[in-house]
Structure 1
């Protein structure tokens, strides 16, 4: 196991003199040219050396193509043939029926004492459980469709994943194209997959002798909504085909429009426009009677005839069942399989299903499955375009690939770049790989008009809802990497939220605008104790606005953020409570701290939030001065009267009075250690902070959240310990494990804040920060082992 104490000693401890004053906060000019020497970075070579290559299947970690607001997640076949990965768009939301006789405006929440006055919070109460559950669950993100391949082996069975050999799949980052190759019965199959950069369309080309042999066809299947689980790796319910409807309208020129309607609070209908190549034919869902011809269970030479048992379980010309002892009538084994030969209408099919897997056959199983059969010259091509309306024109497959081939090189040539290939430190390749893959994943998942969920467009977490405290980690990196066109798509969320946020603040007796935590596309705050008591998202608009002004110091920028900033500052000032006995403004209780591990009814004066409050009010006053206005005296009163950052035993702690912090509460996000790292240090004493940072480096439990690592790395860089910064970026193990596709592994699923945080930290370490040492790449060691070439990055605050 890694010994952090030994590492800290080897790294030499602090290199900033104790008692040194905090550096000035003056703005630095955003560099536009190279941050290194010599020729410009060869961006094609930089990106292409990190193409993702797979030779085996993953059941939980797909490869993606997408455009920032729409993503298609593929298995080893380049489609969703064997694994029902997701097809997600940030406009595709569903709301189920409300509890009978209730509506959202009926929700009462709970009233908590807040400094001697009753305040109503949207916290679930015992009398409205069903309504609060509905409000948390809906709207929820849905998966649009599952396209895949049906391949038939030489002996007539539907191919399973074990029938694939010689798999080789490569994600070409430079063009955003996924190239998947494999063999079935020795016959080659090649699938190329690409997403259109401007519309929510995926294009696919399939080439194989199996096409001409009639043994390969394409299916497109539509699921219902799996409404219960807040987290879903596979976002779809295939067991209730009668709960939703699909319809087909054929168009001229090998085109069709498939409508999918989900009944709920308001019936949701969306459209899948389909265009396919010459020689192929689109077939509507199969119907007719289901007849079990034969069925056996076992393996090798030991088989049990189970046809009669399966026939007895057929209902409505369908059979949905788990392959277990109840289905087959005998003891089951993990290595055994069920083989079924059946006729559906006039079509004879053969399927093999593993023990424990789901058998779904018959009319209902095929009710929402459309197929493309045939092709020309061993080739079939198609495009699926998803839209909430039917007005879209579906492009030709080659047009989608051409659009992707134009778009992705433009993306890679825009904004910043970091090349570490000249380094002698053996870690350079892994760090550069993470940087490049994070840029790809952020462009696919986090570049839409609505803030994404924590798992991006890979799977569903918290029913797909955005967590606004995490918006900074998804989006702030666009500013330092000078990709403002992508940040501008979503940062207007604050203006959209302003009216409801003003109402939220007023309802609780505060001025200004109180920003929500967890929201869906309806912008409604989701109930929950942490949802309504977490406060560290409140100053985020100040951070974004200041980054914007550094890059665009114009009157237009000042006016763009003016209303949002002033409303935010009004809330920050009115939320702070004047505590007469101690003659200071305090934060809380009630509140929930950044690390979400406190008793919300007693927590007060958290270190991170106090420093962030100061930073927010400081920036708001600076904004007034830039606009030619006088400083707001109420804001200044709170700014200068806020409680000091809490200290115990010479180090900062999570919040004032926290019990047993270093043995019981040294987990989740280390807020005390990032107020002079990620944040610029408002209210921080340097001596105290250095002791705090070093204690956190050694004693914090860090294997829980992937974005903690770039957050701590920024602290190490700012205090002058670049080797520590690199260690934290590449921390071995736990949530900082980054897979071959670049996903961080937090709680067992892809977690995009890790990627955004890494990109911000890298720009921080390359281009510097306010008051950074005047040398090249100040966040990297200056010992000759790292050659850091960078272009078009901007310094951090």
Structure 2
């Protein structure tokens, strides 16, 4: 017992109970040459490859391009990383003439003698199936419009990708600018592409002798929406939407868009003599006139019609340069140069590109979808259990403002989350899993039963407090913290027979391999419940409020983490956790109880050591996901296994593939996966800076055998 007590202290087991750290750590006085680190990972594209598109954006808006610097050949990329134009506000719903109601898809599950209604995706009968499908598909995120080049060969035919020669494109990460060069019939074309950092706008500068011969134009095409799981464009239903051109000045115009009840606009401005003409119901062409060899074009998308001309290319470029330099020169940085481990350069590349990608894809006003603002997955909907993986790292890299941008969304959907909890007979708010910008819950056979997204808000709030450490932040988030904890305490069922609180039945854990009607007391969720309620009590104490006795009762009597034969089980209801094939696939979240989370007094470190070894030896790693490798790495680091932490981050499996553009590839219909990028950043920050209570080397997640030369600065310790 004495040994265990000292082990708890040495491993920082009580770190979450002490005053949170607000210190940003730097291990040496040697400053990192940040620009050099970033520049050596600029993305270079020299050919048309459907998996190598690159993007500009600002967290609210993103625009993805091919080697021309625009979306000139979208069909080539449809089954790769598509050339999307998406925003946080761009949503659409099909009309509902059948008047489906969400109540039609509620399904009761019995739990402890009580029937609890869940928002279920029915496969039959037909009416319920159609209702389920409608609410899953609506609303869906829009592709706002394709902006490309019209390129004509000398023989008058439209150019194809193979007609473009000497392509060379660079995504300059330091400035957020894409520089593209190619040649058509021996004539050069040079393009600069940038995104405004405060508006949903792209801007380009084009230089080419093809402009004066009319062989290079700029095209704007607008699709109807699609309710497909992935594809978000319908080019066939031209009669179902309206595109109306309205001139503003001699060098600007606005295209007003109407899709059923959805309205938005695209404002277009240009620098030189040109005319914008309509050449189809939803196709427009900007045709330079005169002897031009260069032109600037800007296009701003807006949820509301506007009579304002968009910002010029020059102003947008300056805005992009300034904002990106501020981003890279503030916050955290790592430098692995000088390492002899052959994986160091690749890990550094993933780190740098993941910072860029999460900045433009995941730093918006609502939680992102898993494919960000590039193309749809799950109809474009956010998954709240993934919000931690998308955005928690911003706090650890000392960019707390990028995390806080999306936290206000929880307040906006609080009423709907409270209604879910009340409908099911619980207190507080039950945070949605698969949702939309308005906080509507999506029908699913899995999503409504998940609970591990629930404590995420407590984690976010605590990260904010650790950064600001003031009364204002406590007041800002206290009601959401308390509502979140109220649900957690009321969800835990008091079992009079065993005299303990139980999570489930009627849940699916983070490892989505278990049936809701059978599953109870998953290890990771038990640990997260305990940690979350502990944090909520700390918030009450910081505010000068008494501890909540209901929360304390759950904390004192919550079921222990389930153990069998010296190993933590995936769930108490799964004694065959390591022998039943489906249970050794998907997320190994049992390790999250000590890695993702700090330990609690419930956790026995030697048992977790054995569990870690078991997971590593039996797991089917090809059947995992992009954030699982950071999850394992964080557990390995806390357990004092730095070599295995690095091995986990760099595991050679399909879903740990990082494309040349930095995206984390998963499978054929999920070619990018931003939770993997965000998880990587969280793991690396923790492997560098450590965690509360840690007192060892300056880089606890990296081997000290001389193979890794790790320099870092501006990172924060993990709870």
TM-score by length of 1: 0.85
Contact 1:70 1:200 in 2 (8 A): yes
In the other structure, the counterpart of 1:283 is 277
CA separation in 2, counterparts of 1:370 and 1:770?
57
In the other structure, the counterpart of 2:284 is 370
CA separation in 2, counterparts of 1:471 and 1:788?
28
Aligned: 1:86 with 2:6: no
Quote how far apart the aligned CAs of 1:729 are. Answer: 1.0
SS at match of 1:790: strand
CA separation in 2, counterparts of 1:720 and 1:552?
30
**Relative to 1, partners in 2 of residues 1:502 and 1:795: Cα closer, same or farther, differing over 3 Å?**
same
CA separation in 2, counterparts of 1:773 and 1:34?
14
Contact 1:769 1:795 in 2 (8 A): yes
Aligned: 1:786 with 2:719: no
- 63-72 or 502-511: bigger deviation: 502-511
CA separation in 1, counterparts of 2:397 and 2:277?
47
In the other structure, the counterpart of 1:380 is 295
Aligned: 1:666 with 2:584: yes
Q: How many residues align?
A: 694
Quote how far apart the aligned CAs of 1:783 are. Answer: 2.2
Per-residue CA deviations over 1:115-159 (Å, capped at 9, x if unaligned) read 101222111343422222111111110101111112111222111
SS at match of 1:706: coil
In the other structure, the counterpart of 2:685 is 763
SS at match of 1:130: helix
CA separation in 2, counterparts of 1:60 and 1:224?
25
Per-residue CA deviations over 1:734-760 (Å, capped at 9, x if unaligned) read 100101111001223100001111111
Contact 2:105 2:443 in 1 (8 A): no
Contact 1:624 1:630 in 2 (8 A): yes
Per-residue CA deviations over 1:485-537 (Å, capped at 9, x if unaligned) read 21111112222222222221111111111111111112111112312110111
Aligned: 1:676 with 2:670: no
In the other structure, the counterpart of 1:56 is 47
**Relative to 1, partners in 2 of residues 1:412 and 1:756: Cα closer, same or farther, differing over 3 Å?**
same
Contact 1:179 1:190 in 2 (8 A): yes
Aligned: 1:96 with 2:90: no
Quote how far apart the aligned CAs of 1:386 are. Answer: 0.3
CA separation in 2, counterparts of 1:174 and 1:254?
31
In the other structure, the counterpart of 1:686 is 605
Aligned: 1:118 with 2:112: no
SS at match of 1:128: helix
The 5 Å alignment of 1:10-409 reads: 20-21=7-8, 23=12, 24-25=14-15, 26-27=18-19, 29-32=21-24, 34-38=26-30, 40-83=31-74, 85-104=83-102, 106-125=103-122, 126=125, 127-227=127-227, 229-232=228-231, 235-263=232-260, 267-285=261-279, 366-374=280-288, 376-391=291-306, 392-409=308-325
CA separation in 2, counterparts of 1:706 and 1:758?
9
Structure that is richer in helix per residue? 2
Contact 1:245 1:368 in 2 (8 A): yes
How large is the RMSD of aligned CA atoms in angstroms? Answer: 1.8
Aligned: 1:432 with 2:348: yes
Quote how far apart the aligned CAs of 1:445 are. Answer: 0.4
SS at match of 1:518: coil
SS at match of 2:553: helix
Aligned: 1:462 with 2:378: yes
In the other structure, the counterpart of 1:705 is 625
The 5 Å alignment of 1:574-613 reads: 574-613=490-529
Contact 2:462 2:535 in 1 (8 A): yes
Quote how far apart the aligned CAs of 1:61 are. Answer: 4.4
CA separation in 2, counterparts of 1:373 and 1:630?
69
Per-residue CA deviations over 1:309-359 (Å, capped at 9, x if unaligned) read xxxxxxxxxxxxxxxxxxxxxxxxxxxxxxxxxxxxxxxxxxxxxxxxxxx
Contact 1:73 1:458 in 2 (8 A): yes
CA separation in 2, counterparts of 1:102 and 1:707?
36
CA separation in 2, counterparts of 1:625 and 1:54?
54
CA separation in 2, counterparts of 1:531 and 1:538?
12
What are the ranges of 5 or more consecutive residues in structure 2 without an aligned counterpart? 76-82
Quote how far apart the aligned CAs of 1:28 are. Answer: 5.5
CA separation in 2, counterparts of 1:596 and 1:99?
35
CA separation in 1, counterparts of 2:311 and 2:436?
30
In the other structure, the counterpart of 2:80 is none
Of 460, 463, 486 in structure 2, the residue corresponding to residue 544 of structure 1 is 460
Per-residue CA deviations over 1:9-56 (Å, capped at 9, x if unaligned) read xxxxxxx99993353313463334633332x21111111111000111
Contact 2:165 2:184 in 1 (8 A): yes
Quote how far apart the aligned CAs of 1:390 are. Answer: 2.2
Contact 1:71 1:457 in 2 (8 A): yes
In the other structure, the counterpart of 1:413 is 329
Per-residue CA deviations over 1:576-599 (Å, capped at 9, x if unaligned) read 111122221111111011111101
Per-residue CA deviations over 1:573-627 (Å, capped at 9, x if unaligned) read 1111111222211111110111111011101110110110111111111222222
The 5 Å alignment of 1:636-651 reads: 636-651=552-567
SS at match of 2:701: coil
The 5 Å alignment of 1:473-552 reads: 473-552=389-468
- 494-503 or 634-643: bigger deviation: 494-503
Contact 1:273 1:394 in 2 (8 A): yes
What are the ranges of 5 or more consecutive residues in structure 1 without an aligned counterpart? 1-15, 286-365
Contact 1:36 1:776 in 2 (8 A): no
Quote how far apart the aligned CAs of 1:393 are. Answer: 3.6
Quote how far apart the aligned CAs of 1:761 are. Answer: 0.8
**Relative to 1, partners in 2 of residues 1:659 and 1:98: Cα closer, same or farther, differing over 3 Å?**
farther
CA separation in 1, counterparts of 2:605 and 2:344?
31
